[in-house]
Amino acid sequence: MPEMAEVQRGLQDVVALESRICFIDGRQGRLIYQGYDIRDLAARSTFEEVAYLLWYGRLPTATQLEDLHRRFGELRTLPDELGQRIDQMPVGAHPMDILRTAVSALALFEPEETKPGASSIGGAQRLTAVLPSILGQFHRRRSRLPPLKPRPELSQAAYLLYALVDREPTELESRALDVALILHADHELNASTFAARVTASTLSDLYSAVTSAVGTLKGPLHGGANERVMELLDEIGQVDRTEEVVKAKLVRHERIMGFGHRVYKVEDPRATILREWSRKLGEAKGDLRSYELLRALEAVVHQEKGLYPNVDLYSGSIYSLLGVPRDLFTPIFAASRVAGWTAHVLEEYQDLRLIRPTAKYVGAVDLPYVPVSQRG
Ligand code: SDX
C-alpha cells in the first residue's frame, strides 16, 4: 500500500482552495466579507448590500442597491405549479425538508438556469429572493394564514418576517432580523458551503448546489443547532437549574448546542452582536427570560468546558421574540446563507477544479473469491 499523507478527520485545518469571499480569523475572532469587517456591516449595512457585496466583490452604489431591491421584489413570486406542489406537501414535514424539496423542484420550472455552468448572478438573485416565499407558502398553509403577496416594497428581512408571522414588522423587528441575515450570510468553507462547492465543482448547476447545501445545513452540528438551543432552554427552565442540567449532559458526553466551533478559538464575533440584539429586543418586548437563561448557560459552559458561544446560541432567542415558530429557525439561516452559497458556487465556476479528496484505505486486500454455493 503506497505511503499516504496523514488523515485529517473532518478535513480539519485542510486548506482546500483560495477564495476572496470570506476570511475568518479564528484566533482573533474576526470575520470579514470581501474585505469588510462583519462589525461594520452589521452596524451599518443591510442584507441586500451584503448579498451584492458577496456576489460582486464590492459594495453597491445607491442605484445598484435600488436595482437589487427591485429585482428581489420581482423575483419573489413562485411558479404556480410549484405553489400547488408545496400545498400538497405534508403539513407535518420539517420546513428544512420542504425547503430542500422545493428548491430542487423549482429547477424543473426554470431549466434555463440549470444547464451545466449556465448559472449566473441572476440565478443567485432568484434563489435568494424566492426562499422566503417557499417558506411562507408552506407555513401560511399549515397555519391557515392568508396567502402570501410578493410585497415588493418590503426589504428582504421585512418580507421574510411578513411571510412567516403575517404582520407588519416594526422598524426594530425588521432591523433585528436584517442584522441576523447579515451575520448568517457567509462563513467561508462551512459544511453546507463546502457541499455547494463540491456540487458545483462537477459543473453541476446552481439549483443542485443549493439543494445539496440545504440538506447539509439541516444537521444539528451545523445550522440545526439554533432550534436545539431553544429546546435546551425549555429543559433548563430556570436560571438556577442551569448548572445541574449542563453538568448532567456533559457527564453523558452530550454536546451543548450553540457552543464550540471548528475555527473560532475565542468568541464567535457573530455571537457577540446577536447577544446584544437578544438583549435589546428582549427589553423592547419586556421579555428577557431567554436572554437571562442564555447568559447563565454561557457562564456554566465556559466554566465547565472552556467553550465559547457560536452564532447559533442567541439567534433562536431573537427569532422567538419575533414570533417565528421554532422549526423555522434553521430555514431563516438558509434564507440568509443562500447568498454565500451562491457566491461560492459562482467563484467555483470561475476557477473550476473538481473537488475529489482521497481516503486512506484500511480494509483487507487480495481476498480469494469464494462462489456463493461454497459460502457457509
Ligand atoms: C455552525 O463551520 C462553520 O463555520 C459553521 C457555522 C457557519 O456559520 O456556517 O459557524 C455555523 O454550524 C456553528 C456550530 C453549530 N453547532 C453547534 O452548536 C453544535 C454543538 N457544537 C459542537 O458539536 C462542535 O463544537 C462543533 C461541531 C461545532 C465543532 O466541533 P469540532 O471542531 O469537530 O470539535 P470536536 O468535536 O473535535 O470537539 C473538541 C472537544 C471535544 O472534547 P473531548 O471529547 O476531546 O474531550 O470539545 C468538545 C468535544 O467533546 N466539544 C464540546 C462541544 N463542542 C466541542 N463539548 C460539549 N458541547 C459542545 N458544544
pTM, two decimals, is 0.96
pLDDT tens-digit series, residues 123-181: 999 999 999 999 999 999 999 999 999 899 999 999 999 999 988 899 999 999 999 99
Task: Round to whole Å and give the CA distance between 353 and 17.
Answer: 9
Q: Tell me, in angstroms, the distance from the centre of ligand 1 to residue 220's CA.
A: 10
pLDDT tens-digit series, residues 320-352: 999 999 999 999 999 999 999 999 999 999 999
Choosing from 261, 344, 351, 366, which is the catalytic residue? 261
Choosing from 139, 186, 312, 344, which is the catalytic residue? 312
Whether pLDDT at 1 is above 70: no
Per-domain boundaries in the chain: 18-219+326-350, 225-321
Pocket test for ligand 1, best of 261, 294, 311 (most atoms within 8 A of CB): 261
Strand, helix or coil at 119?
Answer: coil
Q: Which three cell numbers, joined as nine digits, stand for 257?
A: 448546542
pLDDT, residue 113, reads 79
CATH architecture of 225-321: Orthogonal Bundle (1.10)
pLDDT, residue 119, reads 65
Whether pLDDT at 21 is above 70: yes
Instruction: Give the position, in ligand 1's atom list, of the atom nearest the Cα of 10.
Output: 33
11 pLDDT tier (thresholds 50, 70, 90): very high
Does the Cβ of 257 fall within 6 Å of ligand 1? yes
Q: Would you call 312 a catalytic residue per the annotation?
A: yes
Query: What number does CATH give the domain 18-219+326-350?
Result: 1.10.580.10
Q: Which three cell numbers, joined as nine digits, stand for 113?
A: 438556469
Residue keyed to cell 485542510? 14
Q: Would you call 302 a catalytic residue per the annotation?
A: no
Does the Cβ of 300 fall within 6 Å of ligand 1? no
According to DSSP, residue 309 is labeled B
Type of residue at 247: K
